[in-house]
Each structure stands twice: as structure tokens, then as C-alpha cells.
């Protein structure tokens, strides 16, 4: 079941295209949770496992951490290294980095892994290795998809392949995640359910009612010159790729009109999106 690097580097998933472009810096909600809940007095060496395009470690560096990142997707690492001051990033598996760190005597004050644990074929071994690379009283933090949330059930389990092998091997509830971390020897475990992002509510209704919007994808394809790339970018992110383009303006108008038409549905679901976001954010100590 173990995923080989080529699985991501060959862009089997449309989302990898945006990673390899290296154009998007918008933090995901699970990243934002770290900066909201993590103790502000804790700094030092931070290792991000599965750093992808590096959007998290860029912000962590700005907050005063000495950042390291690993990802076995070499294309993402090469793009990340183009950023000034980001040089301690490595294209290798965590197993390989673990041996490298042991050889170099590297230890970390914080080890993060966002949307990574659910990909592991040997989660207990993975967490043991994390513990061994942490300094005394070191922290771990990260996120996993919340299997009990409405977003996971409706958007990923029913309508998508993303929450199934060979992408995700595991599913976690808040209780099972807490038990997993506890059994693995972590203490002072804190777990927070994310809310369904307000800006995603109307797109959620749109996808649920109408399915994938072919008109928007068609216009994005004209804008970017590639249909797969069009599927990998949100409309909000396109401003970072293309600006002052009439097609982008048309896309934003279509989105706003659709939002207005779907607005009455909000009154039916008010309060239903509390704790129903995609992710469970966690942090703990050894």
C-alpha cells in the first residue's frame, strides 16, 4: 500500500499541479489553527513533515521558527527552494530523513504534520519516529480529516475518491485520534474541530445541488490554458496566477451571482456548520 514519490510527482491528483506551480500562499484552515492555538512562547527548530509547497513553513519562519521541511515530492521541494531563505528542505521520505537526522544529531522543538497521518501504512511506527526526533518536552502538532464532519461525508466520502486508498489509508474521529496519540505516548493532548469555512458554504451547496460546475471550469481552462490546472485552482487563487484578465472578472461575476441565488439556503443550515469543517487540529507534548 505504500505510496511511491512518482505517485505525486506525476500529478495523479489535480491538486499537485498548483503545488508544483508554487504560486499559491494562502494558508489552509488547519494551518491557521496552529497559529491560533499553539503556545506563542514556544519557538526553536520546527520540522514540517509533508511540507508540500511550503506555505506553512513560510509563515512559521515569519513567526520566528527555524524551519525544516521534508516531502518526497521532489517537484514541490525544488519549487520551494526558489524562495529566499528556505534552504533546509529535503526531498525524501520520513524514513530517510529519520536516518539522516540521527546521523547528524538533529533534534526538533516542534514537529508538525498536516493531513499526513491518514496517509500512513504504519501509523504507530510513524509516531514513534516523531517522538524520537523531538527534544525533551517537545511538541507535535498537525491535522487529519474529521471523518464525522458533514464536509467529509458529503464532499469526500460520497462524491470523491480523495478519502479512499491509494490516497487516504486511515480515517479519524476526535476520539480515535486522541486515543492514537495517547497510546503512542503523547501527553497534554488538545484536539479542536474546525468549523465549516464560511466562504466555502455557498460553493458546498453549489457542488451538492449542481455537481461540478462545468461552466466555471471551462472559463478557468481558457484563462490558464489547461483543464487540469483549472480544476486545481480556486477562483480566489487565480488572482495570484493571473490578474487584470477579463475572463477572471467574468468568473468572479458568475460566482457572485450564483452565491446570491443560493443565499436563501443559508437560513436553513444556520448553525449546522459549527465543528463540521474538514479537519481535526491537534497538538501534544512528549
Spell out the domains of the chain, with CATH numbers in brackets. Answer: 6-196+275-285 (3.40.50.150), 198-269 (no CATH)
Q: Using pLDDT thresholds of 50, 70 and 90, give the confidence band for residue 67.
A: very high
What per-residue confidence (pLDDT) applies to 184?
Answer: 96
Give the bridge partners for 283, in sequence order: 141, 190
Each residue's pLDDT tens digit, 140-197: 999 999 988 876 666 665 667 777 887 888 999 999 999 999 999 999 999 999 887 6
pLDDT score at 109 = 98
From 53-67, 76-90, 120-134, 145-159, the region with the lowest mean pLDDT: 145-159
Query: What is the bridge-based pairing of β-strands 89-90 and 108-114?
Result: unpaired
187: β partners:
285
pLDDT-derived band of residue 203, with 50, 70 and 90 as boundaries?
Answer: low
Residue 62 — pLDDT band, cuts 50, 70, 90?
very high
> What is the pLDDT of the chain when averaged over all its residues?
82
Give the span between the Cα atoms of 55 and 77, in whole angstroms: 12
**CA 226 distance to own-chain centroid:** 23
CA angle 168, 192, 38 (to 5 degrees): 105
CA angle 66, 110, 28 (to 5 degrees): 85
pLDDT per position as a tens digit, 3-59:
666 766 666 666 666 666 665 667 888 999 999 999 999 999 999 999 988 999 999
SS (H, E, C) 184-235: CCCEEEEEEECCCCHHHHHHHHHHHHHCCCHHHHHHHHHHHCCHHHHHHCCH
Helix (H, G, I), strand (E, B) or coil at 182: helix
67 is written with which cell numbers?
524551519
Total residue length of the chain: 286
List the end-to-end C-alpha distance of the chain, in Å, as a whole number: 29
Tell whether the torsion through CA atoms of 40, 45, 48 and 53 is positive or negative. positive
Any alpha helices (H) in the chain, and if so which ranges?
6-9, 15-21, 29-37, 55-62, 74-80, 94-104, 123-132, 150-151, 174-183, 198-210, 214-224, 227-232, 235-241, 246-262, 266-269
Q: What is the spatial distance between Cα 240 and Cα 230, in angstroms, rounded to a whole number?
A: 13
Residues 222-235: what's their mean pLDDT? 68
Amino acid at each position: 500500500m505504500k505510496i511511491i514519490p512518482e505517485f505525486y510527482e506525476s500529478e495523479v491528483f489535480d491538486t499537485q499541479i498548483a503545488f508544483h506551480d508554487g504560486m499559491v500562499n494562502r494558508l489552509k484552515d488547519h494551518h491557521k489553527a496552529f497559529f491560533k492555538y499553539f503556545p506563542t512562547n514556544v519557538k526553536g527548530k520546527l520540522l514540517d513533515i509533508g511540507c508540500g509547497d511550503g506555505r506553512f513553513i513560510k509563515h512559521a519562519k515569519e513567526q520566528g521558527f527555524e524551519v525544516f521541511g521534508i516531502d518526497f515530492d521532489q517537484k514541490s521541494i525544488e519549487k520551494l527552494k526558489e524562495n529566499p531563505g528556505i534552504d533546509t528542505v529535503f526531498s525524501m521520505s520520513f524514513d530517510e530523513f529519520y536516518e539522516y537526522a540521527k546521523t547528524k544529531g538533529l533534534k526538533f522543538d516542534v514537529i508538525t504534520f498536516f493531513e499526513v497521518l491518514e496517509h500512513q501504512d504504519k501509523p504507530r511506527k510513524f509516531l514513534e519516529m516523531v517522538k524520537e526526533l523531538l527534544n525533551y518536552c517537545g511538541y507535535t502538532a498537525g491535522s487529519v480529516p474529521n471523518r464525522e464532519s458533514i464536509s467529509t461525508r458529503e464532499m469526500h466520502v460520497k462524491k470523491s475518491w480523495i478519502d479512499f486508498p491509494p490516497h487516504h489509508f486511515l480515517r479519524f474521529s476526535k476520539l480515535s485520534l486522541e486515543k492514537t496519540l495517547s497510546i503512542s505516548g503523547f501527553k497534554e493532548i488538545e484536539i479542536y474541530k474546525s468549523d465549516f469555512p464560511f466562504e466555502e458554504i455557498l460553493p458546498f451547496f453549489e457542488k451538492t445541488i449542481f455537481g461540478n460546475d462545468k461552466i466555471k471550469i471551462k472559463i478557468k481552462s481558457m484563462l490558464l490554458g489547461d483543464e487540469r490546472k483549472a480544476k486545481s485552482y480556486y477562483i480566489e487563487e487565480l488572482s495570484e496566477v493571473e490578474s487584470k484578465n477579463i475572463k477572471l472578472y467574468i468568473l468572479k461575476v458568475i460566482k457572485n451571482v450564483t452565491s446570491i441565488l443560493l443565499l436563501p439556503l443559508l437560513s436553513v443550515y444556520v448553525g449546522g456548520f459549527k465543528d463540521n469543517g474538514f479537519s481535526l487540529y491537534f497538538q501534544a507534548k512528549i
